């Protein structure tokens, strides 16, 4: 017990349940949407070399990394801010723009950190249900915006349901809200998208100063353990976020690793690996549907089995088959795409599940 005041918003925060960590050799760890491959050699070499210098602070705002990211996306360095994973940055954004009691509109179900970040910022989450096929309900999201709305979050591809926003949907979303509302588009899984109709919010930045795009090195770049994410947006907003962000928020080896990951050869290898994962994903999806499962479109490195009340039982069934998946109790199980052998194990387990 403590007499110290804990903010009511913090006392009532929903828990962020991370995907289970691997416990043994034989377990397929498919619970956190990571890449099943190790970091690239050049990236490992850069981070190992940097580790020898950690008696010194890194660059406070990660200037060299910011420069490399700006080059990659053909934007100005003033438009980029890096942070300790994109979750930390989303928190910083909301801390930057939300006053107590403001509304933030978001799709639901989506990434479970969003409602936590919103509550920590003192704001109110306005959850707009996904459509029956797991897509953002763009019209309903726009309709949910009021004079109290400070920001609108979009997640494309959406974690955990799988579909991504088309270019038309993205444009409709950004153009459908007043310019005082910040539209934050989380593109953590965009590297795995293969549907040509899917849009990239970065292409809309030039015309929409109220747009902010979130990216991460945790997924396709195979650097989840390094914790590096970034935002790209209008310089005034980015500068305000920088003033809120934790000083030295990206550690020295993480900065070095991320810079190495942006070298042309590393980027090419990342794209190649992402394509391999996407091909595996499409193979798994086709096989699941042939087994009789209803699976929404999957554009990230994961798929979603919306089994409702059977969620915990299905997760236990996977666990007994040596597969760590991510259950959302009462709603469904999200399974990451792993190596071909791991995916085969998943398909054997889904084939053996009677109730679909
Ligand atoms: N956005 C989404 C949609 C995610 O699913 C995740 C990771 N589960 C993140 C962001 C977190 O990214 P990071 O590791 O950069 O904090």
Residues 73, 233 contacting (CB under 8 angstroms): no
Asked whether 33 lines ligand 1 (CB < 6 A), one says yes
Amino acid 148: pLDDT: 97
Counting from 1 in the atom list of ligand 1, the atom nearest the Cα of 111 is 3
Residues 117 and 262: their CA atoms lie apart, in Å, by: 28
Counting from 1 in the atom list of ligand 1, the atom nearest the Cα of 155 is 3
Amino acid 201: pLDDT: 98
pLDDT of 212 > 60? The answer is yes
Amino acid 355: pLDDT: 73
Residues 324 and 278: their CA atoms lie apart, in Å, by: 20
Looking at residue 31, the DSSP 8-state letter turns out to be S
pLDDT of 169 > 70? The answer is yes
pLDDT of 191 > 90? The answer is yes
Q: Which of 283, 291, 285, 286 is nearest to 304 (CA)?
A: 285
Asked whether 155 lines ligand 1 (CB < 6 A), one says yes
Residue 103: other Cβ atoms inside 10 A: 21
Give 94-109 pLDDT, tens digit per residue.
Answer: 999 999 999 999 999 9
With H, G, I as helix, E, B as strand and everything else as coil, classify residue 133. coil
Give 238-288 pLDDT, tens digit per residue.
Answer: 999 999 999 999 999 999 999 999 999 999 999 999 999 999 999 999 999
- State the chain's mean pLDDT as an integer: 96
303 membership: H or E segment, kind and range: strand 302-305
d(CA 310, ligand 1 centre) in Å: 26
pLDDT of 189 > 60? The answer is yes
Amino acid 24: pLDDT: 56
d(CA 156, ligand 1 centre) in Å: 11
DSSP lists the bridge partners of residue 233 as: 212
d(CA 341, ligand 1 centre) in Å: 25
Asked whether 159 lines ligand 1 (CB < 6 A), one says yes
Residues 167 and 146: their CA atoms lie apart, in Å, by: 24
d(CA 74, ligand 1 centre) in Å: 23
Residues 175 and 184: their CA atoms lie apart, in Å, by: 13
Reduced DSSP (H G I as helix, E B as strand, rest coil) percent helix, strand, coil of the chain, to 5 = 40, 15, 40
Amino acid 315: pLDDT: 97
Domains of the chain: 8-30+265-351 (3.90.1150.10), 43-263 (3.40.640.10)
Give 68-94 pLDDT, tens digit per residue.
Answer: 999 999 999 999 999 999 999 999 999
Give 115-165 pLDDT, tens digit per residue.
Answer: 999 999 999 999 999 999 999 999 999 999 999 999 999 999 999 999 999
Counting from 1 in the atom list of ligand 1, the atom nearest the Cα of 87 is 16
pLDDT of 26 > 90? The answer is no
Of the chain, the percentage scoring pLDDT greater than 90 comes to 92
Q: What is the DSSP string of 74-108?
A: T--GGGEEEESSHHHHHHHHHHHHPPTT-EEEEEE
Asked whether 187 lines ligand 1 (CB < 6 A), one says no
Of the chain, the percentage scoring pLDDT greater than 70 comes to 98
Please tell me whether the interface predicted TM-score (ipTM) of this complex is above 0.90.
yes
Higher-pLDDT residue of 19, 258: 258
Asked whether 191 lines ligand 1 (CB < 6 A), one says no
pLDDT band at 20 (very low <50, low <70, confident <90, very high): confident
Query: Average of pLDDT values for 33-58?
Result: 97
d(CA 160, ligand 1 centre) in Å: 11
Asked whether 107 lines ligand 1 (CB < 6 A), one says no
Counting from 1 in the atom list of ligand 1, the atom nearest the Cα of 19 is 8
Amino acid 122: pLDDT: 96
pLDDT of 17 > 80? The answer is no
Asked whether 87 lines ligand 1 (CB < 6 A), one says yes
Tokens linked to 299? 């554009």
């Amino acid at each position: 017990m403590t007499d110290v005041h804990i903010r009511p918003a913090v006392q009532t925060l929903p828990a962020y349940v991370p995907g289970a960590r691997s416990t043994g050799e034989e377990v397929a760890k498919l619970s956190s949407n990571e890449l099943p491959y190790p970091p690239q050699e050049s990236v490992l070499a850069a981070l190992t070399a940097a580790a020898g210098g950690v008696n010194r602070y890194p660059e406070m705002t990660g200037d060299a990394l910011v420069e490399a990211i700006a080059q990659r996306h053909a934007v100005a360095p003033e438009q980029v801010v890096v942070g300790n994973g994109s979750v930390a940055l989303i928190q910083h954004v909301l801390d930057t723009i939300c006053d107590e009691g403001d509304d933030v509109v978001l799709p639901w179900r989506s990434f479970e950190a969003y409602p936590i970040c919103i509550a920590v910022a003192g704001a109110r989450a306005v959850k707009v249900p996904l459509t029956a096929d797991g897509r953002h309900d763009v019209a309903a999201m726009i309709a949910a915006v009021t004079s109290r709305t400070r920001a609108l979050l979009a997640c494309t591809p959406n974690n955990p349901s799988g579909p991504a926003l088309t270019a038309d949907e993205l444009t409709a979303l950004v153009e459908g809200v007043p310019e005082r509302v910040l539209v934050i588009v989380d593109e953590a899984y965009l590297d795995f998208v293969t549907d040509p109709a899917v849009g990239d919010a970065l292409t809309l930045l030039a015309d929409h100063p109220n747009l902010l795009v979130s990216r991460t090195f945790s997924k396709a770049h195979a650097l989840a353990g390094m914790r590096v994410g970034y935002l790209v947006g209008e310089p005034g907003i980015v500068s305000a976020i920088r003033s809120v962000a934790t000083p030295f928020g990206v550690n020295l080896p993480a900065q070095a690793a991320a810079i190495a990951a942006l070298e042309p050869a590393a980027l090419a290898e990342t794209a190649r690996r992402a394509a391999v994962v996407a091909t595996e994903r499409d193979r798994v999806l086709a096989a699941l549907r042939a087994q009789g499962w209803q699976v929404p479109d999957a554009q990230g490195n994961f798929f979603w089995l919306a089994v409702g009340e059977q969620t915990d039982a299905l997760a236990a069934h996977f666990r007994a088959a040596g597969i760590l998946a991510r259950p959302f109790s009462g709603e469904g199980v999200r399974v990451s795409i792993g190596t071909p052998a791991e995916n085969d194990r998943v398909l054997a387990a889904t084939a053996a599940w009677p109730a679909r």
